[in-house]
């Protein structure tokens, strides 16, 4: 299906992995594994539907409070994903990573840098993974950078250049699965005028039909950006 008025940049809050596993009597990490599969399928769907920019909230700064074994399982998933980014390259997709990445082992950080470099010239979908990401952390980090460079930054545009998302368009649509209706510190600067679509579907069950439904809903909204 060809969609009209597609959002330029879609953010995904992938919530509900834990509940998906609990419903099946499985440990939470199994939910994350299924969530990883849903993420990969979703990237394919986004490519097929002609989206240009997508950002997935895969690990928040607050997620550091989770039990050690759950964090380890998530890190393992990210690592495994980074081991095979050829598929993304084959699909002409570009990978980017945003967040306080120093939290990850040096070997993982190296794989992220290599994945960014290997796909930098691709011209299709830009797929950004928010890892150990927090919007407040991002703003503080930007302010620190401006101070350390001794710069005066007065415009929103110039300030945006100091964020992890430098060079990316603002987010137009945020899709959150798992039934909660909050932003949870995700792209708080970039989503100032975003539209929101919430679904009770748990992330591992989120698929193309629901993505298309969300895009349709977005296309029917009237966006005035504070004007009339």
Task: Give the span between the Cα atoms of 199 and 30, in whole angstroms.
Answer: 21
203, 16 in Cβ contact below 8 A? Answer: yes
Q: How far is the CB of 24 from ligand FPP (least distance, A)?
A: 12
Q: Which two tokens stand for residue 149?
A: 């460079």
* End-to-end CA, the chain: 31
Verify binding: residue 178, ligand FPP, rule CB under 6 A. Answer: yes
User: Between 109 and 219, whose beta carbon lies closer to ligand FPP?
Assistant: 109
Active site residue 17: no
Catalytic residue among 63, 122, 137, 185: 63
Stretch that binds ligand FPP, among 2-10, 32-40, 182-190, 210-218 (CB under 6 A): 32-40
Task: Give the span between the Cα atoms of 216 and 227, in whole angstroms.
Answer: 23
Residue sitting closest to ligand FPP (CB): 18
- Please classify residue 47 by burial: count the beta carbons closer than 10 Å to its beta carbon, then call 0-12 exposed, 13-18 middle and 19+ buried: middle
User: Between 27 and 144, whose beta carbon lies closer to ligand FPP?
Assistant: 27
Position among 203, 206, 214, 215 found at the interface with ligand FPP (CB under 6 A)? 203
Verify binding: residue 129, ligand FPP, rule CB under 6 A. Answer: yes
Position among 41, 44, 47, 63 found at the interface with ligand FPP (CB under 6 A)? 63
185 conformational bin, left if phi > 0, alpha if psi -120 to 50, beta if neither: left
Position among 3, 19, 145, 208 found at the interface with ligand FPP (CB under 6 A)? 19
Active site residues: 15, 63
């Amino acid at each position: 299906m060809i969609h009209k008025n597609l959002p330029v940049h879609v953010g995904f809050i992938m919530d509900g992995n834990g509940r998906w596993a609990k419903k099946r009597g499985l440990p939470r990490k199994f939910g994350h594994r299924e969530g990883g599969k849903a993420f990969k399928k979703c990237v394919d769907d986004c490519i097929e539907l002609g989206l240009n920019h997508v950002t997935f909230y895969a690990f928040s700064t607050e997620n550091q409070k989770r039990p050690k074994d759950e964090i380890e399982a998530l890190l393992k998933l990210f690592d495994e994903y980074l081991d095979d980014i050829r598929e993304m390259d084959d699909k002409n997709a570009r990978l980017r990573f945003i967040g306080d990445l120093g939290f990850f082992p040096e070997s993982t950080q190296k794989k992220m840098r290599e994945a960014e470099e290997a796909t930098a010239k691709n011209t299709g979908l830009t797929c950004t993974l928010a890892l150990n990401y927090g919007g407040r952390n991002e703003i503080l980090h930007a302010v620190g950078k401006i101070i350390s460079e001794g710069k005066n930054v007065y415009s929103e545009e110039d300030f945006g250049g100091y964020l992890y998302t430098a060079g990316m368009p603002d987010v137009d649509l945020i899709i959150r699965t798992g039934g909660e209706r909050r932003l949870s510190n995700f792209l708080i600067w970039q989503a100032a005028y975003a539209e929101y679509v919430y679904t009770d579907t748990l992330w591992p069950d989120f698929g193309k039909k629901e993505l298309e439904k969300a895009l349709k809903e977005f296309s029917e909204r009237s966006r005035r950006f504070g004007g009339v």
